């Protein structure tokens, strides 16, 4: 892990870093309490499709968890997003946004699955590197990721025993492989469902909730389209992670 820059504002230290994984440069951001020492809960945040690690909602959530609960939080740019986007990637995103959000077709799902497998390897490497820092340490780990953050999050959480709780949703079961991965998840999960979602049909999200093997799982369903998750759900996410990961001592 190479630190690119470090700034501190209102008690939150933000470090930009990069890591090489499988020959790819993976840029990320780590947020910590100012002067942090010792192990603490770590919240991994994965952005959605067409977004990036510095999307305002991820930054605001990281700062809130750092300030109020002493967490560390980390986000990275997924393959083909943020600093890693090529001109071809950016053109594909422009076309998708211009054409309106919609469910992906079979070919798009296959291409996405390949990118997601790469993203899972990158997240594991980032988690390894971050937990080696004494100001983060081997504390409990949580995963927050909706939409593409769930497409990556399901295989990641299914294969990563360090994750103790996850917020998933706005994506559902569309393939047999994805279903089998979801069936391996046993940690507490909160699943978000938008009832009028034009990207992730509600039936696919409800199936995701159904096949999760978690003894504790909660479904939060709200009216509205894909990007219309109510702001008040932020409080539910915060309570969920604090309940399962605790606060920094």
Which residues, 6+ apart, have CB-to-CB distance to 79 below 8 Å?
24, 115, 118, 119, 122
Encoding tokens for residue 50? Answer: 């067409």
Encoding tokens for residue 110? Answer: 């296959």
pLDDT (0 to 100) of residue 102: 59
Total tally of structural domains belonging to the chain: 1
Give alpha helix (H) positions in the chain: 56-69, 87-98, 106-131, 148-159, 176-182, 202-211, 233-245
Give the pLDDT band (50/70/90) at residue 113.
confident
The CATH number of the domain holding residue 136 is 3.40.50.1820
* Residue 213 maps to a domain: no
* Residue 202 maps to a domain: no
pLDDT (0 to 100) of residue 62: 98
Stated pTM of the model? 0.91
Encoding tokens for residue 68? Answer: 């109020």
Q: Say what percent of the chain tops pLDDT 90.
A: 82
- Residue pair 144/65 in contact by the 8 Å Cβ criterion: no
Tell me the average pLDDT across 166-180.
94
* Residue 159 maps to a domain: yes
**Is a pLDDT exceeding 80 seen at residue 101?**
no
Tell me the average pLDDT across 1-25.
96
* Residue 181 maps to a domain: no
**Is a pLDDT exceeding 70 seen at residue 28?**
yes
* Residue 133 maps to a domain: yes
């Amino acid at each position: 892990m190479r630190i690119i820059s470090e700034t501190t504002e209102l008690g939150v230290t933000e470090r930009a870093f990069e890591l090489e994984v499988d020959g790819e440069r993976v840029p990320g951001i780590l947020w910590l309490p100012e002067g942090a020492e010792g192990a603490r809960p770590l919240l991994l945040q994965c952005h959605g499709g067409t977004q990036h690690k510095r999307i305002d909602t991820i930054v605001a959530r990281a700062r809130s968890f750092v300030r109020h609960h002493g967490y560390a939080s980390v986000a990275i740019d997924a393959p083909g997003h943020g600093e890693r986007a090529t001109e071809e990637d950016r053109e594909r995103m422009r076309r998708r946004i211009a054409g309106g959000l919609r469910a992906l077709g079979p070919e798009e799902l296959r291409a996405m699955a390949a990118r997601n497998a790469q993203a899972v390897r990158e997240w594991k490497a980032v988690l390894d590197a971050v937990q080696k820092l004494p100001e983060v340490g081997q504390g409990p780990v949580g995963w927050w990721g909706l939409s593409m953050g769930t497409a990556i999050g399901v295989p990641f959480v299914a294969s990563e025993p360090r994750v103790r709780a996850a917020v998933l949703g706005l994506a559902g079961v569309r393939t047999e492989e994805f279903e089998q991965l979801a069936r391996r998840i046993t940690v507490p999960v909160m699943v978000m469902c938008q009832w009028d979602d034009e990207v992730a049909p509600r039936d696919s999200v409800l199936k995701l909730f159904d096949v999760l093997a978690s003894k504790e799982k909660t479904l939060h369903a709200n009216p509205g389209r894909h990007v219309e998750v109510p702001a008040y759900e932020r409080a539910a996410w915060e309570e969920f992670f604090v309940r399962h990961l605790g606060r920094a001592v």
